[in-house]
Amino acid sequence: MTILSCIADLPLIDHHCHGLIRTDLDRTSFEELLTEADTVSPLGTTLFDSTIGLAVRRWCAPILDLPAHAPAEDYLARRAELGATEVNRRLVATTGATDLLVDSGFRPEQLTTTDELATLTGIRTHEIVRLESLAESVLHDDGDFAMNCAEALAKRNAIGCKSVAAYRVGLRLSGVRPTDAEVRTAVDRWRQSGNPRLADETLHRYLVWLAIENRLPVQFHVGYGDADLDLHECDPLLLTGLLRATEHTGVPIMLLHNYPYQRQAGYLAQVFQHVFVDVGLATHHAGFRGPGLIAELLEIAPFGKVLYSSDSFGLAEHYLLGALLFRRGLSDFLATGITEDALTPEDAGHIARLIGHQNARRLYQFTPGDVLS
């Protein structure tokens, strides 16, 4: 497969990713970060026995000076030899990303900060505030919870927010903005529970409205994730009521990942003005099968409503594979269209630029002067 030239050099805005592990990893720790499995099952085999495992050996090994398809043990030995910093630097350098929008709210103690990531990679980074982490950080502060959330958000200089309601209560969120009294009651209930972790439909919903009222695009984790979530409660269609209620605001809602509900997500992107979608995470977790997922997303999602994200987390291998397999998938989709005479090479270039960076550029408020093509 040859990647279309309009895509090989396409600048990418990765609108959802996380920091990198700074330390060297033994085999178990590496495998635990490789897929969404928490641990390597004693009943299964190595997690290198997977499409993403094959992809690491195929595509990442050469960047570490190994032959393509090097065995897992060789790969891990060479990784340790080079050290985490050099590995991270080399792998991320392959992505062709100009901007990383970083959700720094998950396991921050283990990962590079947003600034460290910029320094390490030489790529501009931008802050996405994880709403639940923000709320958890002010739960026991004096004064009004809602006001404290608003103030904490204002201090963060974020260009967007992210909700992980999917992980806490699922996506059956009501469309109604909760009243101040409802928020107070829910906060009291939360405080009394003694649980530091937010999991309350009213408050997840409140936080989404807080972001919207600050005109910050809201990202939702949707679909595929780890065993902490109930995947059948993470179908993006469950957000339909909330989407209907928020459309008039004109604030973009970004549905992340979506696998295996990418077609459902494409539908929402078509029929709601403010909905945007990607199929990040799954694209590279499915290895050489990932590119086909992009074609499913693009069946009915308008090209002006689709973005790129990698959802890289911890391993720099995710950065490389996310970008590479996205490029291959988008290239396959467009090259097929050209071969079938369904679109022209000029159309392909236009669509690639929209999805690769123009849509993100239009929707997130980057610093003025910082203009891409």
Within 11-70, the residues that bind a copy of itself by CB under 8 A are: 35-39, 41-47, 49-55, 58, 68-69
As measured in angstroms, the least distance from the Cβ of 191 to a copy of itself is: 27
Q: Which helix (H) or strand (E) holds 102?
A: strand 97-103
Tell me whether residue 54 or residue 118 sits nearer to a copy of itself (CB atom).
54
- Residues in contact with a copy of itself, counted by CB under 8 A, come to a total of 78
Provide the mask over 254-293, with x wherever binding to a copy of itself is found by CB under 8 A and - wherever it is not: -----xx--xx--x--xxxxx-x-----x--xxxxxx--x
Contact 125/100 with Cβ under 8 angstroms?
yes
As measured in angstroms, the least distance from the Cβ of 215 to a copy of itself is: 12
Nearest to 204 by CA among 149, 156, 256: 149
What's the rounded Cα separation, in Å, for the pair 220 and 122? 27
* Sheet-wide strand order for 124-130: 12-17, 97-103, 124-130, 160-163, 218-222, 253-257, 275-277
As measured in angstroms, the least distance from the Cβ of 61 to a copy of itself is: 12
Identify the residue among 114, 240, 246, 258 touching a copy of itself (CB under 8 A).
240
- Check binding of 318 to a copy of itself (CB under 8 A): no
CA distances from 49 to 34, 99, 359 (A): 11, 32, 36
Q: What residues between 192 and 231 interact with a copy of itself by CB under 8 A?
A: 224, 226-227, 230-231
Tell me whether residue 119 or residue 174 sits nearer to a copy of itself (CB atom).
174
Tell me whether residue 121 or residue 312 sits nearer to a copy of itself (CB atom).
312
- Report which residue type is found at 312: S
What's the rounded Cα separation, in Å, for the pair 229 and 227? 5
Nearest to 356 by CA among 123, 99, 12: 12
As measured in angstroms, the least distance from the Cβ of 89 to a copy of itself is: 25
- Residue 99 in tokens: 């901007």
Tell me whether residue 78 or residue 289 sits nearer to a copy of itself (CB atom).
289
Identify the residue among 178, 252, 322, 356 touching a copy of itself (CB under 8 A).
252
Q: What residues between 322 and 351 interact with a copy of itself by CB under 8 A?
A: 336-337, 340-344, 347, 350-351
Q: What residues between 89 and 108 interact with a copy of itself by CB under 8 A?
A: none
Q: Is 270 exposed, middle or buried (0-12, 13-18, 19+ CB in 10 A)?
A: middle
As measured in angstroms, the least distance from the Cβ of 241 to a copy of itself is: 8
For 27-53, the three-class secondary structure string (H helix, E strand, C coil) is HHHHHHHHCCCCCCCCCCCCCCCCHHH
